[in-house]
Structure 1
Amino acid sequence: MGKSKKGRKFAVMKRMISPKDMRLKQNQERAKKAEKKAKEQQVRNVPQVPSALFFTYNTQLGPPFYVIVDTNFINFSIKNKLDVFQSMMDCLYAKCIPCITDCVMGELEKLGPKFRVALRIAKDPRFEMLPCMHKGTYADDCIVNRVTEHKCYIVATCDRDLKRRIRKIPGVPIMYIAQHRYSIERMPDAYGAPRQ
């Protein structure tokens, strides 16, 4: 085996630190100043609290109650043999106007012939139809968005995930089915409201 020949390297410079390197002290100081300036210029975004809320109670909720009904709430009402209108009035002791969004209607139609009774109940003229302007037909997102914008609704659902999401929004009562009757959360003067 012969010797490997090494060629000479021309114009080789020693590696030098870049003047923009963050390890240099003046660059670190400049970065700290820029960060401080950015923090000072940053505007804090504090969400606007609706004027209808008096602590946790919503003063916008008045006797003709508007109740947004979810898909599973209608199905559970049928299983428990409950009339939606009469049971709501028994729960709230006042006139109730059940509302159905286009997304909930679409969900009921997708469920097929097994849930045709629920669809027939939802098409009752006493239900108020709420048109949806958003993309997609996911009812939970639709209900949460609507309730966040307008705090004048009660949400009727038996879905745990949707309940969890709505509990994070202050001033929105939740209606659900317990012991073969309607009950309500976060509303002071109704059946099923927690007693202090």
Structure 2
Amino acid sequence: MGKRKTKKFASMKRMISLKDQRINEKDRAKVQETKKKDPSEIKEKEVPKYPSCLFFQYNTQLGPPYHILVDTNFINFSIKAKLDIVQSMMDCLYAKCIPCITDCVMAEIEKLGMKYRVALRIAKDPRFERLPCTHKGTYADDCLVQRVTQHKCYILATVDRDLKRRVRKIPGVPIMYISNHRSELTSDYQCSIGHLWLSLCFIVSLSLTHIKCLIP
């Protein structure tokens, strides 16, 4: 009797040799036809369209009450600095502020566990507005960047450097951060919001004087 054939351990599948007659040489040697670029041809670029609210000196969609998107790091740093989030925002902007929290940020805080239960309790505060998420996944940074690019009515509150770097590339989005145990806004947007507030006060004062003149 002959030897019993046993299957080799971790045997690899055999590949067809490149010199095999079954392989067509024309299929192997496909040369890509490169089109010669005309130097006189005008190059076309797709430029993203900016909303009409950014064609003025300041973003016209930003106004009191301010809607502020809150990040996980901002809540944690405010706890370390012993700050009341809503009060510190109002002290920074001198107007009513509505902190908003997305489902992704809430899920991120819940995943952190019992160590961050104080942050979770703050996030569930009734003063916070809950924003539902319809996209796939629960990555908070992508969620916040996507929401800020679509809607120009939000201020982003974060301490994360990478997220700040991403949001700075988007025009018309102010960034709030914590420094020296208080909430601060990026300097360029402090000026724009100040101009907006002064212009609103000027319009109101003009309308009041006009009404007084009309009253006999």
2:76 counterpart residue number: 75
- Mapping of 1:42-53 within 5 angstroms? 44-53=45-54
- Indicate which of 176, 187, 190 corresponds to 2:189: 187
Secondary structure in 1 matching 2:52 = coil
Shift of the 170–56 alpha-carbon distance from structure 1 to 2, 3 Å rule, reads farther
1:134 counterpart residue number: 135
Distance (Å, rounded) in 2 between the aligned partners of 1:97 and 1:158: 19
Structure 1 moving runs of 4+ over 4 Å: none
Please identify which structure carries the higher helix content: 2
Structure 2: any 5+ residue segments left out of the alignment?
A: 1-29, 195-216
Q: Deviations over 1:131-164 (max 9, x none)?
A: 1111111100000000001011000000000001
Distance (Å, rounded) in 1 between the aligned partners of 2:113 and 2:189: 35
Is contact 1:70-1:157 (8 Å) kept? Answer: yes
Q: Deviations over 1:70-115 (max 9, x none)?
A: 0010000010000011110000000000000000000000000000
Is contact 1:73-1:157 (8 Å) kept? Answer: yes
Q: What TM-score comes out, normalization by structure 2 length?
A: 0.69
Structure 1: any 5+ residue segments left out of the alignment?
A: 1-19, 192-196
Distance (Å, rounded) in 1 between the aligned partners of 2:46 and 2:177: 34
Question: What's the RMSD between the two structures over aligned residues?
Answer: 2.4
Q: What TM-score comes out, normalization by structure 1 length?
A: 0.75
- Mapping of 1:20-99 within 5 angstroms? 31-32=35-36, 35-36=37-38, 44-54=45-55, 57-99=58-100
- Tell me how many residue pairs correspond in the alignment: 161
Percent identical: 70
Distance (Å, rounded) in 2 between the aligned partners of 1:137 and 1:106: 7
Answering whether residue 141 of structure 2 is matched by residue 177 of structure 1, we say no
Distance (Å, rounded) in 1 between the aligned partners of 2:180 and 2:81: 9
2:26 counterpart residue number: none
